């Protein structure tokens, strides 16, 4: 795992919607740090620094502000749905050696053999791991796999000391199958060029515009 991402902020002592609005106009984001059984700590961070930092999945942050320093992970992020700016962040304080649950996305790479195509059956896994060694993604190779082959949850290499949560190790997370060909489109029914009249004679099925004039 990479070193904790350092974010330098400032203590936040004023609250309310008006204060938060002025902070955002100034390029700042209100944030809170929660810890079990303790009162939350409030700070403000740079919008630009925070947006760059949040690109990392399951990262640990070293938050410094005033004379305080906290090791934390992201608990919740509120974004403006139109402007896509970060409006507020809740962090959860952690300690070295502590284990927490994180959600880890699954990606695949490589080429399968034959006509088999690899499909991701489980998009993400819940993992319990040490905060010093949190996985941000699982990259699984499908090189050489062929139709009928599978990768199970228990086949995935986890960080030392980590464990899967709420999933059977035998669960298939990636499978290689041959896609069924799309059903051939049903041919359109032919329209007869002439229909029978009441007298048994035949007449054109439809008259053209020139015929009706």
Query: For every residue of 148-194, which 3-state class applies, written as one string?
Result: CCEEEHHHCCCCCCCEECCCCCCCEEEEEECCCCCCCCCCCCCCCCE
In a domain? residue 205: no
In a domain? residue 184: no
Final residue in a domain of this structure, among 44, 64, 94: 94
CATH number at residue 121: 2.170.120.20
Q: Are residues 85 and 156 in the same domain?
A: no
pLDDT band at residue 212 under the 50/70/90 scheme: very low
pLDDT given at position 206: 41
Q: Are residues 11 and 71 in the same domain?
A: yes
User: Which tokens belong to 89?
Assistant: 């962040």
In a domain? residue 183: no
CATH number at residue 56: 2.40.240.10
Final residue in a domain of this structure, among 73, 94, 115: 94
In a domain? residue 211: no
User: Which tokens belong to 161?
Assistant: 């000391």
Helix (H, G, I), strand (E, B) or coil at 17: helix
For 124-146, the pLDDT digits (tens) are: 999 999 999 999 999 999 999 99
pLDDT given at position 184: 44
Q: Residues 6 or more apart from 62 whose CB is under 8 A from it?
A: 4, 5, 6, 7, 69, 70, 71
Q: Are residues 74 and 109 in the same domain?
A: no
In a domain? residue 196: no
- Quick count: other Cβ atoms within 10 Å of Cβ 28? 19
Q: Which uninterrupted H or E stretch holds 32?
A: strand 28-34
Q: How far is CA 149 from the centre of its chain?
A: 25
In a domain? residue 51: yes
In a domain? residue 132: yes
Q: Are residues 90 and 104 in the same domain?
A: no
pLDDT given at position 197: 39
pLDDT given at position 2: 57
Any idea which residue has 């041959």 for tokens? 178
Whether the per-residue pLDDT at 100 is higher than 90: the answer is: yes
At residue 24, what are phi and psi to the nearest 5 degrees? -65, -40
User: Which tokens belong to 88?
Assistant: 């507020």
Q: Are residues 33 and 16 in the same domain?
A: yes
How many domains does the chain divide into?
2
Give me Rg for the CA atoms of the chain: 30
pLDDT given at position 170: 97
Higher pLDDT, 3 or 59: 59
Q: Are residues 70 and 128 in the same domain?
A: no
Q: Are residues 81 and 117 in the same domain?
A: no
In a domain? residue 59: yes
Closest CA to 138 of 163, 158, 112: 158
**Which range of residues forms the domain containing residue 151?**
100-177
Q: Are residues 65 and 12 in the same domain?
A: yes
Q: Are residues 32 and 84 in the same domain?
A: yes
For 150-194, the pLDDT digits (tens) are: 999 999 999 999 999 999 999 999 999 998 864 345 454 444 444
Report how far residue 77's alpha carbon sits from residue 183's, in angstroms, rounded to the nearest whole number: 45
CB 91 within 8 A of CB 71: no
pLDDT band at residue 36 under the 50/70/90 scheme: confident
Q: Are residues 66 and 121 in the same domain?
A: no
Q: How far is CA 25 from CA 84, 89, 90, 93, in A?
A: 14, 16, 20, 27
């Amino acid at each position: 795992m990479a070193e904790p991402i350092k974010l330098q902020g400032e203590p936040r002592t004023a609250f309310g919607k008006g204060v938060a609005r002025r902070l955002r106009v100034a390029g700042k984001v209100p944030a809170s740090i929660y810890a079990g059984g303790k009162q939350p700590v409030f700070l403000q961070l740079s919008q630009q620094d925070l947006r760059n930092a949040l690109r990392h999945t399951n990262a640990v942050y070293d938050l410094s502000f005033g004379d305080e320093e906290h090791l934390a992970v992201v608990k919740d992020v509120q974004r403006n749905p139109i402007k896509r700016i970060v409006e507020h962040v809740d962090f959860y304080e952690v300690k070295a050696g502590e284990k927490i649950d994180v959600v880890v996305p699954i990606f695949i790479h490589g080429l399968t053999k034959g006509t088999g195509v690899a499909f991701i059956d489980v998009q993400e896994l819940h993992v319990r791991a040490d905060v010093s060694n949190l996985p941000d993604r699982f990259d699984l190779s499908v090189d050489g796999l062929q139709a009928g082959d599978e990768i199970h949850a228990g086949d995935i290499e986890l960080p030392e000391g980590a464990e899967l949560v709420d999933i059977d190790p035998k669960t298939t997370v990636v499978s290689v199958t041959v896609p069924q060909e799309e059903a051939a489109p049903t041919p359109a029914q032919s329209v007869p060029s002439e229909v029978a009249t009441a007298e048994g004679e035949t007449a054109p099925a439809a008259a053209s515009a020139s015929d009706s004039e």
